[in-house]
Amino acid sequence: MTAIAKDRRWSRRKEARPEEITAAALELFSERGYAATRLEDVAARAGVSKGTLYLYFANKEELFKAVLREGFISPLAEMRETVQRHEGPTFELVEMLVHGWWQHIGATRLSAIPKLIIAEARNFPEVARFYVDEVVRPGREAIAGILRRGIERGEFREVDPEITGRLLLAPLFMVALWGSSLSVCTPERIDPLPLLEAHIEMLRHGLEVKHA
C-alpha cells in the first residue's frame, strides 16, 4: 500500500471515528452500566487508541452525553419538526410516536439507557440530571404538545396533556425496562409489537372524540 493510499484510508477513518466511538460506548454502557464502563474499553471496542478517544471526548461523562445526544436528542428534534409540518389527523402523530419509539429506541441498545439511569442516578446525579433535562422533559413537552393539538382541533377529549402524556409513555418504558432487566431471569417473554398495537388502540379509544 502506498503512502498516499494509507493517508486516504486513515483520513476516511478519522472522519468516521466520533460515530464509531459513540456506537462502541453505547454497546458497553448497555452491557455494563455507566460505572463499570472504562474509556480504554470503549477505545478498544471502537478500534482506536485511548488518546484518539480523548481528541473527541474530554471524559466519560461527555462521552455518555454524546451517546444521549445522538440516540435521543436528535430524534426528539426531528419529532418536533414532524409535528410542526404534519397536516393530517392528530392521532396519526400518536401512532408515529409509538412506532418511532420502538424503531429507534425499543428495538435497539438505547432501550437499556432508562434502566442505566435509574440504577445509577444516585451515584452519578449530573449524568441523570442531563438525561432528565435534555431527554425526559423535552420528550414530555413534545407529547403534551401533540395532545394539546388534538384537543384544540376537537379531535381529542379534554384531558390533562401532562398527565396523559406520562400515561402514554409508561408502557413504552415498561417494555424497555423488562427487556433489559427481568427478561433475563424469567421464562416469561413479552412480544412488544402486539403490546404496542394494543396500547395504540387503548389510546385511540381513550383520546378520540366519538361523533354521533
Q: Are 40 and 83 contained in the same domain?
A: no
**212 lies in a domain?**
no
With bands split at pLDDT 50, 70 and 90, how would you rate the model's confidence at 183?
Answer: low
**77 lies in a domain?**
yes
| 33-58: pLDDT as tens digits | 999 999 999 999 999 999 999 999 99
pLDDT average, residue stretch 19-45: 95
- What pLDDT sits at residue 17? 78
- What pLDDT sits at residue 67? 96
Q: Which domain holds residue 27?
A: 1-57
Count of CB atoms within 10 A of residue 78's CB? 12
Q: What are phi and psi of 7, to 5 degrees?
A: -60, -40
Q: Which of 161, 156, 149, 164 is nearest to 209 (CA)?
A: 156
Cβ neighbours of residue 204 closer than 8 Å, sequence gap 6 or more: 91, 94
Domain finish residue from 32, 57, 82: 57
| 152-178: pLDDT as tens digits | 999 999 999 999 999 999 998 888 887
Count of CB atoms within 10 A of residue 33's CB? 14
- What pLDDT sits at residue 179? 72
Query: Cβ(21)–Cβ(42) under 8 Å?
Result: yes
Q: Are 99 and 190 contained in the same domain?
A: yes
Indicate the pTM of the whole model.
0.84
Cβ neighbours of residue 96 closer than 8 Å, sequence gap 6 or more: 82
What Rg value do the Cα atoms of the chain yield, rounded? 20
pLDDT average, residue stretch 183-187: 68
- What pLDDT sits at residue 15? 46
**126 lies in a domain?**
yes
For the ranges 16-20, 109-113, 207-211, the maximum mean pLDDT occurs at 109-113
Residue 12 has pLDDT above 50, yes or no: no
| 87-136: pLDDT as tens digits | 999 999 999 999 999 889 988 999 999 989 999 999 999 999 999 999 99
Q: Are 45 and 13 contained in the same domain?
A: yes
State how many domains the chain has: 2
Residue the block writes with cell 396523559: 164
H helical segments located in the chain: 3-32, 39-46, 50-56, 60-68, 74-85, 90-101, 113-120, 125-131, 137-152, 161-179, 192-207
Cβ neighbours of residue 25 closer than 8 Å, sequence gap 6 or more: 37, 42, 46, 63, 64, 66, 67
Show the cell assigned to 203. 389510546
